[in-house]
């Protein structure tokens, strides 16, 4: 290879690798039809979340100033010092979007937990819906316990229809239904809330390991009519 061409090739490889490190592929992505981001709805007033929301704007614009580790560190600092007054802020959708983007980028349950903390505010339902279920290929993430469903084409072919049924937090019972699946291999990630020690997750009499503050993973072939039975110890729900 011509030495000049080699160095040009090496330059583009290095730039590509750095770009992927700076703007990582999302662990999962929102799939709801209510897919309008906060930046599209209101890009002028982010209240107490303005500094953090700079990172959201940088990521959406693929700004070279974006730094995921700095984003996470700034979030942790803000979270450690936040007060309950932020939940009354008119800019609360910006806080939901901040947590939602971090959830998509990292797959860490703590960001979904914070969105759940906000979900008691019914005015925020529209902003929360996109994060109830998120997806990456044939990986489905159940982040929040609210009625929701998805329909998509499996990567190997065949339609998949997946539905969550629950009245949570009035009840701790959650049912995940595969209304349509043709012996499809899918990895299902179910978030177990921090307070929910002793949560039961059962599929066809097989009980799966659960750990509060993380995701219970079920990786198997699913068929039409398969149901995941989840029982949360709702008597421990912190707001009751």
Q: What is the model's pLDDT at position 143?
A: 98
What is the DSSP pairing of strand 206-208 with strand 133-136? Answer: unpaired
Long-range residue pairs from 64-68, CB within 8 A, at least 24 positions apart, any chain:
64/22, 66/22, 66/23, 67/22, 68/22, 68/24, 68/105, 68/106
Which comes out higher in pLDDT, residue 131 or 31?
131
What are the domain boundaries of the chain? 1-131, 132-240
Q: What is the model's pLDDT at position 237?
A: 94
Question: How many CA within 13 A on the CB side of residue 117?
Answer: 19
What is the per-residue pLDDT across 133-149, written as a single tens digit (0 to 9) for each? 999 999 999 999 999 99
Instruction: Mean pLDDT check: name the lowest of 26-40, 142-156, 193-207.
Output: 26-40
For 6, phi and psi rounded to 5 degrees?
Answer: -60, -45
At the topology level of CATH, where does 132-240 sit? Maltose phosphorylase, domain 3 (2.60.420)
Q: What is the model's pLDDT at position 17?
A: 46
Please check the confidence at residue 240 and state whether its pLDDT lies above 90. no
Q: What is the model's pLDDT at position 44?
A: 64
Question: How many CA within 13 A on the CB side of residue 150?
Answer: 25
Q: What is the DSSP letter of 26?
A: P
pTM assigned to the model: 0.87
State the pLDDT confidence band at 45, using cuts at 50, 70 and 90. Answer: confident
């Amino acid at each position: 290879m011509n030495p000049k061409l080699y160095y040009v090739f090496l330059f583009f490889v290095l730039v590509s690798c750095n770009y992927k490190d700076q703007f990582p592929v999302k662990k999962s992505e929102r799939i709801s039809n209510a897919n309008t981001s906060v930046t599209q709805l209101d890009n002028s007033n982010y209240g107490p979340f303005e500094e953090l929301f700079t990172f959201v704007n940088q990521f959406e614009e693929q700004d070279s100033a974006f730094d995921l580790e700095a984003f996470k560190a700034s979030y942790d600092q803000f979270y450690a010092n936040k007060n309950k007054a932020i939940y009354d802020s008119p800019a609360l959708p910006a806080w939901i979007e901040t947590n939602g983007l971090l959830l998509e980028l990292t797959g860490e349950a703590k960001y979904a937990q914070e969105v759940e903390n906000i979900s008691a505010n019914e005015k925020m339902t529209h902003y929360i819906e996109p994060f109830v279920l998120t997806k990456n290929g044939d990986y489905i993430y159940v982040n929040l316990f609210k009625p929701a469903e998805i329909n998509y084409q499996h990567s190997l072919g065949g339609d998949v229809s997946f539905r969550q049924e629950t009245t949570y937090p009035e009840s701790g019972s959650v049912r995940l239904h595969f209304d349509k699946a043709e012996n499809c291999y899918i990895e299902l990630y179910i978030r177990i809330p921090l307070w929910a020690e002793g949560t039961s997750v059962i599929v066809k009499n097989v009980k799966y390991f659960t750990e509060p503050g993380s995701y219970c993973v079920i990786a198997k072939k699913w068929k039409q009519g398969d149901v995941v039975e989840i029982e949360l110890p709702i008597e421990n729900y912190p707001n009751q």
